[in-house]
Every structure is written in structure tokens, then in C-alpha cells.
Chains A and B, each alone.
Chain A
């Protein structure tokens, strides 16, 4: 990010960084892997990235999954690399978990479960959004 943008960032706390919304289940499409690739790419260029998991996207975070059983290279394991890319803001929609009868056990740490209102507020803080 340029210096000018950083100055704007300091003066305006609202609207910064990239938000990536994950809304698809992990194994039936490439969307989850694509979102991961984009997140890590932005991370390696020291861009601020936040990850949002909504709808069937929450299945990407559930513990004890194994893609090898359905002949898929398990990209979910790479999620544990987020901290090395300074991706620290990982948000999950609580309502999506409740609807799917999922408990809050995830295969990575520091996941923040947010209510629908908090989730929408967190998303609206970002300047750019990509949805997968």
C-alpha cells in the first residue's frame, strides 16, 4: 500500500484492507482453494487480509476432515500457515454454525465466532471484498 493510502488509513479507521468471504463447502468445488491462494498471496505482499466464513463456507473450518478420502489434496491443512502470513482476523458466522448443528471446534486456532450483526459490522470495516 502506498504512503498516501496509509495516511488515509490512519485518519479513517473505517474501510481498510481486503475481506475474503468463503461461502462454499471445501471438497466439491475449487472455490475454497482459490480463496486460500488469494489470501496467502495478499499476505506475502504484507497486505491486510481478513477471512470471513459464512454459509457452507463454515465447513472449511471444521476439525477432523480428511480430503484424501475423496482423492482431494487437503488444502485445509494449509490454513495453519495463516499466522506466518500475518492473517489474524478470521471470522465465522455463528448463525451458519447453528443452522448446520456444528459446534465451535475448528482445526485452526484464533477463530472468532461472531453473531450476524457483528459479522456484518466486521465485514463493512473493509474497503475491498472478494467472495468465493
Chain B
């Protein structure tokens, strides 16, 4: 059972991202969107990237990051909204963290 996690809040303002990471499982996918893009620079992200062993996929909505002047990161794939739609079909369920 794979889950798609849509992270929409800044981890600097809420603990949504912490809760997301606590339930994150193998084969899950994380999408950072809206203020969730700010999490790229959060210390929680470092711990997540260490956990990524090729099974957890981390993505960011390109336009959302660009609007916020957030620098890119090699381990995080840039996607658009059409890709999110595709991802919802590739996973058993979706959790929106907002």
C-alpha cells in the first residue's frame, strides 16, 4: 500500500511535516507544494534525505518553488500539477498535510 503525501505547510510554522515524516513508509511519495516548498531548507529535510534509499520519492512543484525563490536540490525532482494528477493514480491513497 503506497501513499502520496501532499505537504502544503511550512514546517517552520506548523508541525504537519513532522507528523507526515512520522507516518512515512517505504514506496511512499512526498510532494512539496505551496508553503511546503519552504521545507526544502528545514533540518527535517536533511533527515528525510538520509532516509531516502531509493524507495521514497521526493518531489517539489516547480512553479511553487520558483515563485518563492527557493533553490533547487539534486535529490528532489521538479514536477508540475499534471504530474501530481498522475501520481494520485499511481498510489493507493493520498494524504494532504495542511
Contacts and interface: CB of A to CB of B under 8 A. Distances in A.
Please name the 10 residue pairs, one residue from A and one from B, whose CB atoms are nearest each other, closest first.
Answer: A69-B67, A64-B69, A101-B41, A70-B67, A69-B63, A65-B69, A28-B35, A56-B13, A25-B35, A66-B67
A100 interface: yes
Interface string B17-36: 00000000000000000110
A68 B68 CA distance: 11
A63 B64 CA distance: 15
Interface of A: 24-28, 55-56, 59, 62-70, 72, 99-102
A55 B12 contact: yes
B38 A66 contact: no
Given A25-B10, A27-B35, A100 B67 contact: no
Given A63-B69, A70-B67, A56 B10 contact: yes
Interface size band for B: 10 to 19
B66 interface: yes
Contacts, number: 51
* Residue from A24, A25, A27 with most neighbouring chain B CB atoms (10 Å): A25
A56 B34 contact: no
A59 B66 CA distance: 13
Contacts of A69: 63-64, 66-67
A26 B68 CA distance: 9
Nearest to B40: A101
Nearest to A74: B67
Contacts of B66: 66, 69
